[in-house]
Each structure stands twice: as C-alpha cells, then as structure tokens.
Amino acid sequence: MKFSDYTFLAFASLKERRGRTLGAVLGVIIAVVALSLALGVGESFQIAFKEQMEKTLAANSVYIFSSIGLTEADLAYYRNIYEVEDVFGIAFETIKLIDPSGVKTVTLVAIEPRWLPEFLGVTSLEDLIEEGSYDMSGLGVIVGSDVWKDPQTGQKLRNVGETLTVQVSGGKAKQITFFIIGLAKETGGIRGPGMNPDNAVYMEPEAFFTYIAKRRVYNLVVVVAKDSKYVSNVEKEVRAFSPPHARVFSPAAMIKQVSIFVTALQTILGVVSSVGIGVTALWVFDSMTISVIQRTREIGILKAIGFKSRDILLLFLMEAAVISVIGSISGVAIAMLLSSLVRIPVFGYTLRATITPSITLLSIALPILANLVASLLPARRAASLDPVRALRYE
C-alpha cells in the first residue's frame, strides 16, 4: 500500500464521521492553544522581567538599602573593595506636592546627574529627558512623568521653568520651592527599588543635604563591580562591610531566583495544559475504539480482499495522525495569531505570548505523539481481527 492511499482512505473515513472528527480536532486545537499560550506567556514574562531588571538595575551592581542611612564612611569602605569600579549613594525623602487639585505624595530622590541613567535604566542622559535639561543644580529639579502629566489622561500639568512647591515632613524646611529644569520621560514597567521612578522629583545631592536632609546619609548605595563576573564576590564583601541595618542584594542573584521561579511556574502551566492533551488523547482512544467496533465488517471486507494486518494498523494510526496534525498545526497558528493580537497582564506587565520554535515543536509533537499512542491499542485490535468473524459481525 502507498502512503497517499493511506491518507486517502483515512480522510474518507474521517469525513464520514465528521462530527467525531471535528470534535477530536477541536479538542486538539484547544489543548494546543492552551499549552503554547501558557508556555509562550511564561517565556515572555521571563524575557520581559530579565530585560527590565537588567535595564533598571545593572547586572553588575550590588545594592545596599537602609532606611536609617549609610554614611560617606560606609561608601568609602565599599570603594576600597578590590574589583569595585564605582560607588554612588542615593537619598530618598517622601514629600507632598501642593497642587491646585490637592496634595500628592511623591518621592524626592537625591542623585548625581551622571548616575541618573544607570538608576532609571536608560543608556544616556539624552534618553532620559522629554523636555528641558538634565543639569540639576541647587534647587533646579527634574520631575518624573507622573508628576508633570496626568497619569490617566496624559494631559500636561507642569512645564519647564515653572516652580514646584513641596512640603517636607521630616526635613529641615517645612516648605520649599523648586524650579523645574527638566521633564523626565516615562520609565514605565517595574517599580524601582521601593519607589516609582515616574512618581518622583530628582535633585542634586549637595542641595538636598543643604536644604532638606538633617543628616548626610544615603538610603540606597549602588556598588558597581568592574565586571559582572565579580558581582557575587563583591556582594560577599559588601555584606561584610555593611552595618546591620542595611539590606544587601544583587540584581543578578535576584534575576536568577525569579527566573527559577518563573521556569517552575511555566512547567506547572505546561503540565496543567498537557492535561488537555491527555484528555484529547483519551477522547481519540475512545472514538477510535468505537470506530473499530462500528467498522468491524469493513475491516473484514478489507482483509478478505487482501489488505494486510499492517495496512489496517497503519490506516487507523493515519486517522489519528491526520486529526492530530490538523489540530496541532491549526492550534499553533491560532496561538500565534492570538499572541500577536492579545496582550495578557501578568504581575504588572502586559505581555504578548512569545511562541518560540521549541514551544511550536513541543505543541505540535506532543499531541501527535499522545494521540498515536492512544490509538495504538484500538488500531492493533482492528489489525488482529479475524476476517471471517469480522464479516459476520452485525
């Protein structure tokens, strides 16, 4: 028997049992869409998270947080660690913006202008500013996008050159007026270390320590290693030098941990979606078993006119293969279409599923394999039927 004849006969019998065939194909499609989207979204989340982390928190840095604050002396210790390229400190203060519309809480961030790109995850200062300048000095500040425009409507609320009056609760001055020198671009995505970088006002540290802060301490210190391969070493040393109230972490380690977590999540999603494929395989098994019984006499006829047992076996396997191939290819096609049209919110990201080649391969191969295994038993039963008995079957 020829391959083309197996497909011809398989199609003919599938066409005759349209309802069952359609049901099985639909089952495969749904299972494949679920599987590839689940894996695809996991993949996207992994990629997006990693990118964001690497952008905002450089992979070769170690971060030290302290609400009490780290002193210049602490920074000097860190600078002395061999393998450390640079160290910079950032101070935070919660302030209240006084607006015609009301009072709004934002974070005042004291940071050297040259470290701003690193802190906000952009490559250069030019990429940072929507309008105005980035040269912060004295009371000239850069405001984050949520401060100068309405986060909902996008309507512009503040302009370069205007003043910004804020209330400082724990600081020296009760009220202070800044000049807006620059409007920062929207950073989007991840909410930086304990704050939202869009809902912030950035100023130069010297002025901050002069006018706002009571003490010259930093809430966040970033230690940049000479190379990302030194990070774990640097992290160890930083821990040794840090005061007990400080919390130390490195993005590299964190990315790794999240990545492990996401992979586990992806595996669980994959396993859950595979249940769908298993259910479809059971359906294929069931429908094949019924089909073999219903077509007992036909099998007898085929054997009587010279079809070999192997031909009958392959004929039934071909039917399962046709169902699975059509189902899984359409399923992957639908999943790809959906992934390009629909964004799915996951932990604060809105993601499109990334259907990688390996996901495609898995989503196509798995149902084909499962359905072939499921139809093996009924197909073998069909192949081993005794022709005389099969012909007599009513």
Partner 1 sequence: MSSFVEVRDVWKIYDMDGIKVEALRGANFDVEKGEFLGIVGPSGSGKSTLLHIIGGLDKPTKGEVVVEGVRINELSDEELSEYRNKVVGFVFQMFYLIPRFTALQNVEMPLIARGVPREERRKRAMEALEMVGLGDRAFHKPNQLSGGEQQRVAIARAIVGKPRLLLADEPTGNLDSESAKSVMEVFKKLNREHGLTIILVTHNLELVWYCNRVIRLADGRVKRIYRAGEYREMLSSMLKSGL
Residue ranges that bind partner 1, judged by CB under 8 A: 1-2, 4-5, 9, 12-13, 15-16, 297-298, 300-311, 387-388, 391
> Closest separation between CB of residue 288 and partner 1, Å?
17
> Closest separation between CB of residue 290 and partner 1, Å?
16
> Closest separation between CB of residue 1 and partner 1, Å?
6
With respect to partner 1, which residue has the nearer C-beta, 16 or 206? 16
With respect to partner 1, which residue has the nearer C-beta, 86 or 298? 298
With respect to partner 1, which residue has the nearer C-beta, 73 or 305? 305
With respect to partner 1, which residue has the nearer C-beta, 108 or 315? 315
Q: Which residue has the tokens 């979204």?
A: 41
Q: Provide Rg for the chain, Cα atoms.
A: 32
With respect to partner 1, which residue has the nearer C-beta, 15 or 215? 15
> Closest separation between CB of residue 324 and partner 1, Å?
22
> Closest separation between CB of residue 19 and partner 1, Å?
15
With respect to partner 1, which residue has the nearer C-beta, 13 or 71? 13
CA–chain centroid gap for 312, Å, is 47
> Closest separation between CB of residue 371 and partner 1, Å?
23
Contacts of 335 (CB under 8 A, 6+ apart): 32, 33, 36, 37, 40, 353, 355, 363
> Closest separation between CB of residue 33 and partner 1, Å?
31
Contacts of 175 (CB under 8 A, 6+ apart): 98, 165, 166, 167, 168
Contact criterion met (CB below 8 Å) for 62 and 246: no
> Across the chain, which distance is largest between two alpha carbons, in Å?
103
With respect to partner 1, which residue has the nearer C-beta, 12 or 272? 12
* Positive/negative CA dihedral, 255, 184, 174, 138: positive
> Closest separation between CB of residue 303 and partner 1, Å?
7
Contact criterion met (CB below 8 Å) for 33 and 331: yes
- Measured CA to CA, the distance from residue 272 to residue 260 in angstroms comes to 18
- Measured CA to CA, the distance from residue 319 to residue 330 in angstroms comes to 17
With respect to partner 1, which residue has the nearer C-beta, 173 or 304? 304
